[in-house]
A and B are shown apart, each in its own frame.
Chain A
Amino acid sequence: MAMRTGRKSVVGFAAFVMMLTVVALQGQPAKNSTKAWVESSASGDALQQGTALGQIDVQQSELLQKTIKNNWVSYNGDYTGRRYSSLAEVTPQNVSHLAAKWVFHTRNAGVLEVTPVVVAGVMFITGSNDAYALDARTGALLWHHARGVTSGLVDDASGHINRGVAVLGTRVYMETDNAHLLCLDARSGNLIWDVAYADNTQSYGATSAPLIVKNKVLVGTSGGDDGVRGFVAAYDAQTGKEAWRFWTIPAPGEKGSETWPAGNAYLLGGGTAWMPGTYDPELNTIYWGTSNPAPDFDGSVRPGDNLYTSSLVALDPDTGKLKWYFQFNPHDLYDYDSVQTPVLVDATFKGKRRKLIVTANRNGFLYILDRTTGKYLYSKQFMKRMNWAKGIDKNGRPISNHLIPDAKGVLVCPGFAGATNWYSPSYDPQTNMFYFRSFEGCDVLMAKQEPFKPGRPYYSTGSRTPPGDVANDSYINAFDLTNLDFAWRDKQIGGRQAWAGVMTTAGGLVAFGNNANEFEMDDARTGKPLWAFKLGQPMHASPMSYAIAGKQYFAVAAGDDVFAFALP
């Protein structure tokens, strides 16, 4: 249901306040016809704060914009996934004056993972199946679409995580924890349609934000550790009718099925697409990462490379057909999902200007691919104490050290939390650097064969922290594409492991959640910490930036709250 604040106590109090206000002013006589109630006159400066501020009607041209400025129109801000804002008001010179502007408190089941979307001065956020529209300047609530959480969900979906909305026209789209796609009216929060796109009683759920490409809404699911068959699906943005579905695990007889054993393993294979992808309109290609294969850690029941798990798939957005794929972790045994944002970068590589994908993978390697063909170009180990692979061969395939989790347990670095994870990376074309958070944690991974039980995670194992291995280091890294080396690597101090991503700005800043529950800004070129604000809550989200009437804001979620910042 959509509510515009429904608390009885608020209603009572506000009505009382309103009564006093009405008493103080002269009333106008009521009008008769419906049309005459509301007149929208040509307002003067006092009543207009900019062209179409407050008017939500997102055009395709807006979604296709090459620069992110006033609006942040999707989870990553634009189709490249580079999270680079062209706003430059806040700089290393004045960032010390950056101040909190407002806080919005959500009702939420856990720590917010949303990246806010802002269009025409209206901010859309989600948490635990709820959607909110806020005045992005003041944090005031415009509407709240409330939907209870689903019980009986398995694994990650049971945390009722939601990463945010997609917008097109006057509509807002979101996933729910039980893998429904909702279409809401952006001006009211009213529900237009609700489509179940996966069966949550079969261990599917959803935690992502949809991506709009042309006239379709693209979604994926969670459940990669729970014995589901992953997919990316597209729905008509107007009608909610399914347009296509790309299964990430081929069926018997299909190309790639030879990388799985015969039988029903493919139905439980995992490979879920649980994060939003990226899109290149010129190449008419969408890029989507897939999760690990299932069961985690026990590869004995799934001999073969297990395509297209732990891969990047390049699809035709009109048909869902596979154009090419690149598998980061063939026959993964360590829960190394590959859903990290495939950032689209146009840059010079080895003397030639190329269309690239740059991505830091959970397995501890950073990769550069050619995004027209999927050709592997380059990799660099970024995790310092890695032991699962010696390196990457010339075709992009890992040179494995053949660590096999067994009943006793095997120490694997990175552990199953990964050397990096879903939190956002960023690419800054001014510095030509790729920024991302990394983690040096290891795990002892154990495996024993277990049959698949519906409704239960399909981990086939357990893990434990290596004895004595307590405080693992985290880094914010800047990888320079000019010389293919790290420009700086800032070890994070604070002790509170954040799952918070980064963004960069034309003003010369890199912004991120640090390990002290703070929103921090560093000089993007040098990594020098310049400013931090104690949010006082765990950070599991990535920041964004927008502008209203020429003023630059930053917003980031922490705990149950969304915070906004701007210069005075």
Chain B
Amino acid sequence: MPWSMFRESFEAMTRRRLTVGFVCFCLMLLVGTAAFAQDEPSMAPEQNQGAQLFSSHCAYCHGADGRGGRAPAIATLPKVVGLSNQDLIGIVHKGEADQGMPAFPDLGDQGTKAVVQYLRTLQGVTANGPPAKLAGDPDMGRKMFFGKAQCSTCHMILGKGGFMAAELTSYARNRTASEIMQAIVNPDAELQPTSRVVSVRAKDGKSLTGVVRTEDNLNITLQTEDGRYHFLSRSNLAVVNYTDHSLMPPDYGTRLTAKELDDLVAFLIVTGRNAPAEPAPPKSRWHHDD
């Protein structure tokens, strides 16, 4: 575990017996790190803990996405979004007896903070405060996505579009406008290994170009634009050329105007905000069935 992270959180603990706090903290980091090591969306350990605590303590009444059910929609109600973090911590800790909400003192300081932080992600509030005002027009952005910009040729969003590239419905949920803009105009800056275009030439002279989806020392699997997977053995290949790019055109920065780009970003952000929240990943246990 990173020493700096450990020290920072250690200093944040107040009014807790040091030994209990220390043990709990180490366990949480271990749990968080173990969970992080599994194949799941990239979340900081504290966020993962917050998601799990929310799922086990809050979701039954407030909904897995905080949008209500038996209890109010704490993810969207303006008066709840407008409360300070301290207010929220207090509510979790003491409950709201007259509203029928129990107290959760068992979460402890660390757990309460984590669950409040997770609620903030459901609310779309970043560490810097409520969501920034959008520069562009999301409706124009939608038209761009499916029209002039041709994003939907490869990307799917809200169930419509292509299959060659990543699904974008919840893409913008935890990303800033500038991050999204960068990803559009500079797509190869952070090239995912499963998005890279690779050209191969077999020993018999035939060639193929596709996106590498999985590979190891012996095999490489490319997907071509018709969706077909080509399972190739390296021993049959004379040349394997890894390009430095994905399928995404690198010239959106010049092809689209600044307004058009802002509109696209706005469309992605609004779509991401409205996308259903991710419930917690599964906890392992055995089960008999029906």
Contact = CB atoms under 8 A, between A and B. Distances in A.
Interface in A421-446: 422
B142 interface: no
Contact of A151 (B56, B228, B287): B56
B290 A222 contact: yes
Nearest to B225: A38
Nearest to B55: A151
Contact of B244 (A30, A121, A152): A30
Q: How large is the interface on A (under 10, 10 to 19, 20 to 34, 35 or more residues)?
A: 35 or more
B150 A135 contact: no
A191 B242 contact: no
B156 A190 contact: yes
Nearest to A10: B193
A422 B288 CA distance: 12
Given A54-B228, A144-B39, A111 B211 contact: no
Chain A CB count within 10 A is highest, among B37, B205, B282, for B282
B208 A146 contact: no
A109 B156 contact: no
Given A15-B193, A135-B219, A140-B219, 17 more contacts: A1-B167, A4-B192, A5-B214, A7-B42, A15-B191, A27-B243, A28-B241, A34-B153, A38-B224, A55-B229, A107-B282, A142-B214, A142-B221, A143-B213, A149-B280, A160-B282, A190-B163
Interface string B163-186: 110110110000000000000000
A280 B161 CA distance: 35
A52 B251 CA distance: 34
B251 A32 contact: yes
Contact of A38 (B194, B197, B219): B197
A110 B202 contact: no
Interface of B: 37-42, 55-56, 59-60, 64, 69, 150, 153, 156, 159-161, 163-164, 166-167, 169-170, 191-197, 199-200, 202-211, 213-216, 219, 221, 223-233, 236-237, 239-245, 247, 249-251, 278-290
Interface string A157-169: 0011100000000
Contacts of A38: 197, 209-211, 224-225, 247
Contacts of B250: 30
A379 to B, nearest CB: 24
Interface stretch (A43-51, A62-70, A503-511, A526-534): A43-51
Contacts of B205: 44
A499 B197 contact: no
A41 interface: yes
Interface string A528-564: 0000000000101000000000000000000010000
Given A47-B202, A54-B231, A110-B286, A40 B226 contact: yes
A155 B231 contact: no
Given A11-B193, A54-B231, A47 B279 contact: no
Contact of A274 (B38, B227, B282, B290): B290
A6 interface: yes
Contact of A43 (B55, B163, B206): B206
A230 B43 CA distance: 39
A254 interface: no
Nearest to A9: B37
A188 B224 CA distance: 12
B157 to A, nearest CB: 9
B209 A37 contact: yes
A332 interface: no
Given A148-B278, A149-B281, A107 B286 contact: no
A111 B230 CA distance: 32
A78 interface: no
Contacts of A274: 290
Interface of A: 1-11, 14-15, 18, 21-22, 25-28, 30, 32-34, 37-49, 52-56, 107-111, 113, 121-122, 128-129, 135, 137-138, 140-144, 146-152, 155-156, 159-161, 170, 185, 187-194, 201, 207, 222, 224-225, 274, 291, 337, 417, 422, 499, 538, 540, 560
A142 B284 contact: no
B241 to A, nearest CB: 6
Given A18-B193, A188-B167, A30 B243 contact: yes
Given A40-B224, A55-B228, A107-B40, A1 B170 contact: yes
Contacts of B230: 43, 47-48, 54
A25 B163 contact: no
Contacts of A137: 231
Contacts of B193: 5, 10-11, 14-15, 18
| Pairs A-B, 6 closest by C-beta atoms | A148-B279, A54-B229, A109-B282, A159-B287, A46-B202, A4-B194
B92 to A, nearest CB: 17
Contact of A149 (B39, B195, B282, B288): B282
A47 B213 contact: no
